[in-house]
Amino acid sequence: MTRLIAEITEHDRRYYEQDAPSISDAEYDALMRRLRALEAEHPALLRADSPTQKVSGQAAEGFAKSRHLAPMLSLDNAFAESDFTEFAARIRRFLSLAETEPLDFIAEPKIDGLSVNLLYEHGRFVKGATRGDGAEGEDITANLLTLADVPRELPAPCPALIEIRGEVFMDRADFEAFRATQEAALAEREARKARGEKLGPAVTIPVNPRNAAAGSLRQLDPGITAQRPLKLFAYAMGEASEVPTTTHHGWLETLKRWGFRVNPLSTPLREGATDLLSETPVAFQARLGRERPSLAYEIDGVVYKLDRLDWQARLGFVGRAPRWAIAWKFPAEQARTRLLRIEIQVGRTGALTPRAVMEPVFVGGVTVTHATLHNEDEIARKDIREGDTIILQRAGDVIPQVVEVVDAGRPDRGPPYAFPTLCPACGSHAVRENDDVVRRCTGGLICPAQTVERLRHFVSRRCLDIEGMGEERIETLHAMGLLGSPAEIFRLHTHATQLEALEGWGRLSTQKLFDAIAARRNPPLERFLFALGIRRIGEQNAKLLARHYHSIGALRVKMEAARIIGSEAREELGSIQGIGPAIATELVEFFAEPHNLEALDALLAEVTPEDAAVIEAGENPFAGKALVFTGTLETLSRQEAEARAEALGAKVTKSVSKKTDFVVVGADAGSKAAKAAELGVTVLSEIQFREMAGLG
Ligand code: IVH
């Protein structure tokens, strides 16, 4: 039985994690049957970790979540010299410095990669995570251990606890070689497919170095990551029990001493300098812009950081970005190409969106064939016509845009573009309402494009997050007539035989999908609301509504009552901070539409959204608990945070002991954070504290 368990577990791993099974489904089933039979014969020997006791596909869950001790923030952008000057002036004003006071900055290339957070405890690398949403990322420790640039140990003296941040990237040359390998592997796979042979794992072709680095880091098998040529430039500090330096340049020196790769182009600069010796930010920006094409890796700008850490601490943060740093981006790259035709896509709300299909052109590091045209008015304003030669622009990750037409005066030019007034997907009328710039299909539920797009949204990562329901599968199921509404997703298992028979599905993969669906029958209310795809109800608004109304039942009753303008329910809706009149109208209209209510009822027969937590004094995570704040909070003053905790029934104390329940760590937290880690007291980031305290 032990041997069988080990064997099956290994096959599960190959199947779910590596997408590379080495035995047939029938052989796998035989192993499982044998194990089940033995377990039935010897119930006393049944092990809790037996694969027969597990929902299959659990291993495919991916990475564990990992909370950053200090949030990983982003940077404000500058695009022109005036933005930079304003940034420096703001610093001088904030610190009450004279206008003539020169400011020392460190300029660092802004690496176009993926930021990661490395946690060191007593000099040992213990955990590494992706940035995620800034508060919480994915635990990719095993993958980061494969990078030579991640030291396992830091030489003494080093702080008891420190988070080190940096950018994982792939050199351009390594990327080209890697892409060539992947292309060859894909060609080989296609050939096998043509010969009807077993295919093996899927092969993806990365579009740029950043994408290649991201894909490589997110491998469930660190063995694959190990084969990828990844590097890491370290540049920042997160939580630290003790800050080992007083300047940013000192910090970079420390990182080097500890064995990290630090970008050699990092340069001290002086803004407002009168001596002619040091380079100014303006000169540096221009120089790096010129050197950019010859660098070994891709950069998309320069990050300027104020050198003095005491000043950084005083400046703090606004929103999600520090006041003491700025990312000055290089201008977008442009290229010229021909517009072959204009294509119309229909979105989940019926919006008709025009897209340019162009002759392939290399711009901003990638070859592009499509660009956004925004909307009907934009096409008319720029008078863009099929067959025109156009200037295309691409900045960073942004979708390419058409800047202008360059040969508008040519004699053989075609007629102006006529935007369709019928939906290309279902033939219904497409109309523009009031002052809406968007033309929408009026087909509603009969429009296949809207149905598929709605389903895609419903199962997407930020909504119900159903793994294994890709676009292709949704389209297939929709075309087969098995899937027309979100509720039907939860009835797919009644068509098991039909699905298993589909090419590329099979028994295991179909079961895996059913398991993934079954696991989502109790979605958090906010996700459920976002998934409904109500216009103007994005993730943020869904959260606000969930927090306010707590349950789908209550929300629905209130929305129906809110139909009457001036009613108490309507006033209540309008009083929610962040919900304006346009959003309120959209919501009320959604809940007034009979076919929406029908769809909702059908869905609620299948799923039960989890109510949002109600936070009231007496029954909240802090009631009766001992709390210590340490470090500087960024979004709350210390008084406000303490007052809030006390209002929730917590006792706020000054020192950490075994009796402490929570330690909330702000920026630059010192020994208390270390002590908390030592005693195993739950440590909360400011973001976590806000969430738990109902401050959002
Ligand atoms: S410092 C609080 N330095 O840019 C400051 N970021 O827009 C945190 N990045 O998420 C960032 N090179 O992924 C910093 N030399 C550099 C960087 C850099 C690239 C990325 C990083 C961050 C994003 C912010």
Query: Rounded to an integer, what distance in angstroms lies between the CA atom of residue 112 and that of residue 116?
Result: 13
Shared domain check, 155 and 257: yes
Percent of the chain with pLDDT strictly greater than 90? 52
In a domain, residue 388? The reply is yes
Shared domain check, 382 and 300: no
Mean pLDDT of 504-523: 93
Q: What single string gives the DSSP state of each residue in 143-156?
A: HHTT-TTS-SBPPS
**pLDDT tier at 398, thresholds 50, 70, 90:** low
Helix (H) or strand (E) holding 317: strand 317-318
Mean pLDDT of 438-456: 88
**Pocket mutation for ligand 1, best pick of 72, 73, 74 (most atoms within 8 Å of C-beta):** 74
Q: How many CB atoms lie within 10 A of CB 527?
A: 20
In a domain, residue 364? The reply is yes
Looking up residue 575, the CATH number of its domain turns out to be 1.10.150.20
How far does residue 577's CA lie from ligand 1's centre (Å)?
A: 32
pLDDT in tens, 483-492: 999 999 999 9
Strand partners for 232: 168
Among 98, 103, 140, CA closest to 119: 140
Q: Which atom of ligand 1 is nearest to the CA of 317?
A: 2
Cβ of 315 less than 6 Å from ligand 1: no
Cα distances (Å, whole numbers) of residue 54 to 8, 490, 667: 12, 21, 42
Q: Is 60 exceeded by the pLDDT of residue 617?
A: no
Q: Which atom of ligand 1 is nearest to the CA of 322?
A: 2
Instruction: Give the tokens for residue 466.
Output: 């159903």
Instruction: Tally the domains of the chain.
Output: 5
Shared domain check, 237 and 125: yes
**Pocket mutation for ligand 1, best pick of 72, 131, 167, 320 (most atoms within 8 Å of C-beta):** 167
| pLDDT for residue 225 | 93
Q: Which atom of ligand 1 is nearest to the CA of 74?
A: 24
Mean pLDDT of 646-666: 86
In a domain, residue 195? The reply is no
In degrees and rounded to multiples of 5, residue 109 shows phi and psi of: -60, 140
Shared domain check, 148 and 248: yes
> DSSP strand E in 5-122: where?
65-67, 77-78, 103-111, 114-121
Q: Is 50 exceeded by the pLDDT of residue 58?
A: no
Shared domain check, 239 and 376: no
Q: Is 50 exceeded by the pLDDT of residue 673?
A: yes
| pLDDT for residue 23 | 73
| pLDDT for residue 612 | 85
Most confident of 82-86, 205-209, 616-620: 82-86
How far does residue 109's CA lie from ligand 1's centre (Å)?
A: 9
Shared domain check, 348 and 324: no
Q: Are 163 and 239 in contact (CB under 8 A)?
A: yes
| pLDDT for residue 18 | 61
Mean pLDDT of 586-606: 90
**pLDDT tier at 133, thresholds 50, 70, 90:** confident
Buried b (16+ CB within 10 A) or exposed e, 390-424: bebbbbbeeebbbeebeeeeeeeeeeebebeeebe
Shortest-distance Cα residue to atom 22 of ligand 1: 74
In a domain, residue 450? The reply is no
pLDDT in tens, 321-368: 899 999 999 887 788 999 999 999 998 888 999 999 999 998 866 788
Cβ of 110 less than 6 Å from ligand 1: yes
Among 545, 547, 543, 556, CA closest to 592: 556
Shared domain check, 404 and 391: yes
In degrees and rounded to multiples of 5, residue 67 shows phi and psi of: -80, 135
* Higher per-residue confidence, 41 vs 453: 453
In a domain, residue 181? The reply is no
What is the separation, in whole angstroms, between the first and last Cα of the chain? 50
How far does residue 74's CA lie from ligand 1's centre (Å)?
A: 7
How far does residue 660's CA lie from ligand 1's centre (Å)?
A: 35
User: Which residues have C-beta within 8 Å of that of residue 417, sequence separation ≥ 6?
Assistant: 342, 379, 380, 384, 385, 386
Shared domain check, 155 and 15: no
- The pLDDT mean for the chain works out to 88
**Pocket mutation for ligand 1, best pick of 260, 266, 303 (most atoms within 8 Å of C-beta):** 303
**Left, alpha or beta for 509 (phi > 0: left; psi -120 to 50: alpha)?**
alpha
Tell which of 292, 307, 329 closes a domain: 329
Of the listed ranges 24-33, 63-72, 170-179, the least confidently predicted one is 24-33
Looking up residue 46, the CATH number of its domain turns out to be 1.10.287.610
Shared domain check, 314 and 364: no
| pLDDT for residue 57 | 32
Shared domain check, 424 and 347: yes
In a domain, residue 441? The reply is no
How far does residue 303's CA lie from ligand 1's centre (Å)?
A: 7
Q: Are 213 and 240 in contact (CB under 8 A)?
A: no
Residue pointed to by tokens 């019926």:
350
Mean pLDDT of 236-240: 95
In a domain, residue 517? The reply is no
| pLDDT for residue 670 | 82
Most confident of 268-282, 304-318, 612-626: 304-318
In a domain, residue 621? The reply is no
Cis peptide before 157, with omega less than 30 degrees from 0? Answer: yes
Q: Is 90 exceeded by the pLDDT of residue 140?
A: yes
| pLDDT for residue 395 | 66
| pLDDT for residue 277 | 65
Q: Is 60 exceeded by the pLDDT of residue 61?
A: no
Q: Which domain holds residue 49?
A: 2-59
| pLDDT for residue 344 | 96
Q: Which atom of ligand 1 is nearest to the CA of 131?
A: 10
Looking up residue 655, the CATH number of its domain turns out to be 3.40.50.10190
pLDDT in tens, 62-85: 788 899 999 998 898 898 899 999
Strand order in the sheet with 299-306: 77-78, 325-329, 299-306, 103-111, 267-271
Q: How many CB atoms lie within 10 A of CB 469?
A: 22
Cβ of 325 less than 6 Å from ligand 1: yes
Shared domain check, 358 and 242: no
Mean pLDDT of 364-388: 89
Instruction: Give the tokens for residue 194.
Output: 């043509």
Tell which of 292, 311, 329 closes a domain: 329
| pLDDT for residue 354 | 95
Q: What single string gives the DSSP state of each residue in 582-594?
A: HHHHHHHHHHH-H
Looking up residue 104, the CATH number of its domain turns out to be 3.30.470.30
Shared domain check, 551 and 637: no
**pLDDT tier at 527, thresholds 50, 70, 90:** very high
Would you please indicate which residues are annotated as catalytic (active-site) residues?
110
How far does residue 391's CA lie from ligand 1's centre (Å)?
A: 30
Instruction: Give the tokens for residue 327.
Output: 């990312």
| pLDDT for residue 274 | 62
Q: Is 90 exceeded by the pLDDT of residue 48?
A: no
Among 514, 517, 543, CA closest to 528: 543
| pLDDT for residue 275 | 61
| pLDDT for residue 669 | 81
| pLDDT for residue 59 | 28
pLDDT in tens, 148-165: 999 999 998 999 999 999
| 298: Cα separation from own chain's centroid | 21
Q: Is 80 exceeded by the pLDDT of residue 186?
A: yes
Query: Rounded to an integer, what distance in angstroms lies between the CA atom of residue 19 and that of residue 11?
Result: 10
Tell which of 431, 451, 467 closes a domain: 431
Query: Rounded to an integer, what distance in angstroms lies between the CA atom of residue 95 and that of residue 78?
Result: 21
Looking up residue 405, the CATH number of its domain turns out to be 2.40.50.140
Mean pLDDT of 661-674: 88
